[in-house]
Amino acid sequence: MLDAALDHMQRAPGDRVWTPVADDLRDQLATPLPGAPASPDALLEAMMPYGVGNTHPRFFGWVHGSGTPAQIIPAMVEAAMNTNCGGRDHVGLLVERQVVAWMANLFGFPEGAGGLVVSGTSMATLIALKAARDAAMEGGSRSDGVGGAGLVGYTSSQAHSCVARAFDMLGLGTQALRRVPVNAAFETDTDALEAAIAADRAAGLSPFCIIASAGTVNTGAIDDLASLAEIAAKSGLWLHVDGAFGACIQMAPDLAPRLKGIERADSLAFDFHKWMHVTYDAGCVLLRDEARLAAAFSDRPDYLAGETRGLAAGAPWPVDLGPELSRGFRALKVWAQLTEFGTDRLGALIQRNCDQAAYLAARIDETAGLERLAPVSLQIVCFRVVRDGFGEAETDALNREIVIALQEKGMAAPSTTRIHGRLAIRVNLTNHRTTQTDLDGLLDDVLKLAGALA
């Protein structure tokens, strides 16, 4: 199986990017719950070609990390140890605290900072905003809920949907999340933000947090974090930063200055499974004051009581800082990745992806029949095919078909989004296997398909 796994990764560049699950595999999987034991090996191996395709150099969709063969090794150790990282005294928690300490240090957080390795930025955002909510209500929300407290928060129109989902899950309601307009660079308009806060205050509501984006999902825009930190400080609001992929540029020396102000955030959510290429899933929630997490989550019943000695020793336990009790040893693969490649190498690959995005944008700009739809901030390029005589609706339909055809033919896997209402072919480069040849090939394929489909 190890040979098969390595072969699968090695073969990827020559294979299709995405392949719909074969009918016979679907049939083989649709069995009744096995009563008698049987070997899963043949089917395990048969599944490998039918993933998302993000280990392929021409995978450009959404924001996916591309993994590394080395990550198979900590996965083996994790399975062999079968460690529950909800609490107790063992090496799993030591590794997790070390990873969190590394990250707190990377982002310039002060002594007393802390957090958890979690499933991803969606979960990290939920945890961070729970801490923000409970801090705003001095803990009362934990027993009494938020009732008519009138808590409202602010984010930009470009923020990821996980922020509104967190507002929903925290009982605040998605209406309590104000969508502030953005400037031409898709960054939060700070004047509009201040005006929105003032208007809500005047209406008797209780503004409690600002959610900034360090890398928006549509275009990779980075909010002016220093200005947002200033506004948050002046207004007494919590500053949360969604840095799902963008926070990782902290490892690339020429890009890192664009995150100036991130060190002033009250909380930060980001992913290891995107631009650090850790195997799914792994993200991080960091709080500048770990005590805020404990204030939001600790509640140990008798059967989880801590001790000063023995297996129940050690504090805090992750269950004191987040919602999950049983948790896998996710931090191990993160630790292994950071150790094996170091921030220098990971940062250099991030820089290379940004350079590739600039190259792709320049090629689009010089190619007749292609139109770029947004400025390139980091690693995301949004563009479309335009044809004489095509209206907006036909142009949208053509570009959507091009993306689906690229995916179905196994040639490449970009995704789509809308920029100012227009359907864009969205190319995201968080892929260490992508080469310039892949980008040239993508444009050739897009133009060829455009001619055939139009």
Ligand X SMILES: *Cc1c(COP(=O)(O)O)cnc(C)c1O
Q: Does 74 bind ligand X (CB under 6 A)?
A: no
Question: Which are the contacts of 378, defined by CB distance < 8 A and separation ≥ 6?
Answer: 215, 220, 222, 246, 249, 255, 353, 354, 357
φ, ψ for residue 413, nearest 5 deg: -140, 75
Report the alpha-carbon distance of residue 360 to residue 427 in Å, rounded: 9
Least spacing, CB of residue 282 vs ligand X, in Å: 9
Question: Which are the contacts of 441, defined by CB distance < 8 A and separation ≥ 6?
Answer: 58, 411, 412
Q: Does 242 bind ligand X (CB under 6 A)?
A: yes
Query: In the set 127, 196, 210, 217, which binds ligand X (CB under 6 A)?
Result: 217
Least spacing, CB of residue 244 vs ligand X, in Å: 3
Q: Name which of 200 and 242 has its Cβ closer to ligand X.
A: 242
Q: Name which of 217 and 424 has its Cβ closer to ligand X.
A: 217
Q: Name which of 67 and 283 has its Cβ closer to ligand X.
A: 283
Residue 259-278 contact track with ligand X, rule CB under 6 A, x = bound:
------------x-------
Q: Name which of 125 and 141 has its Cβ closer to ligand X.
A: 125
Least spacing, CB of residue 37 vs ligand X, in Å: 36
Question: Hey, which residues does 154 pair with through a beta bridge?
Answer: 178, 210
Least spacing, CB of residue 284 vs ligand X, in Å: 10
Ramachandran sector of residue 286 (left: φ over 0; alpha: ψ -120 to 50; beta: rest): beta
Report the alpha-carbon distance of residue 336 to residue 88 in Å, rounded: 22
Decide: helix, strand or coil at residue 62. Answer: coil
Report the alpha-carbon distance of residue 144 to residue 142 in Å, rounded: 6
Query: In the set 177, 239, 244, 321, which binds ligand X (CB under 6 A)?
Result: 244
Decide: helix, strand or coil at residue 50. Answer: helix
Least spacing, CB of residue 177 vs ligand X, in Å: 14
The string of DSSP letters for 241-274 reads EE-TTGGGGGGSTTTGGGGTTGGG-SEEEEESSS
Residue type, 311: L
Q: Name which of 68 and 122 has its Cβ closer to ligand X.
A: 122
Q: Name which of 266 and 396 has its Cβ closer to ligand X.
A: 266
Least spacing, CB of residue 369 vs ligand X, in Å: 30
How distant, in Å, are the alpha carbons of 58, 88, 137, 165, 267 from that of 317? 41, 7, 24, 26, 19
Residue 73: is it exposed, middle or buried by C-beta count within 10 angstroms (0-12/13-18/19+)?
middle
Query: In the set 57, 67, 283, 318, which binds ligand X (CB under 6 A)?
Result: 283
Span interacting with ligand X, options 204-212, 237-245, 322-330, 411-419, rule CB under 6 A = 237-245
How distant, in Å, are the alpha carbons of 54, 56, 275, 372, 388 from that of 414? 11, 12, 17, 15, 24
Q: Does 207 bind ligand X (CB under 6 A)?
A: no
Query: In the set 63, 180, 370, 446, which binds ligand X (CB under 6 A)?
Result: 63
Q: Name which of 104 and 217 has its Cβ closer to ligand X.
A: 217
> Any idea of the CA torsion for 224, 227, 233, 236, to the nearest 10 degrees?
-70
Closest chain position to ligand X (CB): 120
Number of residues in contact with ligand X under rule CB under 6 A: 13
Q: Which of 56, 64, 160, 277 is catalytic?
A: 160
Taking CB under 6 A as the criterion, which residues in 23-42 touch ligand X? none
Taking CB under 6 A as the criterion, which residues in 136-175 touch ligand X? 160, 162
Q: Name which of 53 and 283 has its Cβ closer to ligand X.
A: 283
Query: In the set 238, 245, 275, 383, which binds ligand X (CB under 6 A)?
Result: 245
Report the alpha-carbon distance of residue 156 to residue 73 in Å, rounded: 40
Q: Name which of 116 and 411 has its Cβ closer to ligand X.
A: 116
Taking CB under 6 A as the criterion, which residues in 81-140 touch ligand X? 120-122
Query: In the set 215, 322, 328, 347, which binds ligand X (CB under 6 A)?
Result: 215
Least spacing, CB of residue 74 vs ligand X, in Å: 19
Decide: helix, strand or coil at residue 303. Answer: helix
Active site residue 160: yes
Taking CB under 6 A as the criterion, which residues in 378-417 touch ligand X? none
Least spacing, CB of residue 236 vs ligand X, in Å: 25
The string of DSSP letters for 351-373 reads HHHHHHHHHHHHHHHTSTTEEE-
Least spacing, CB of residue 310 vs ligand X, in Å: 36
Q: Say how many C-beta atoms besides its own lie within 10 A of residue 387's C-beta.
A: 12
Helices (H) and strands (E) counted in the chain, each on its own, are 14, 11
- Annotated catalytic residues are 160
Q: Which residues bind ligand X (CB under 6 A)?
A: 63, 120-122, 160, 162, 215, 217, 242, 244-245, 271, 283
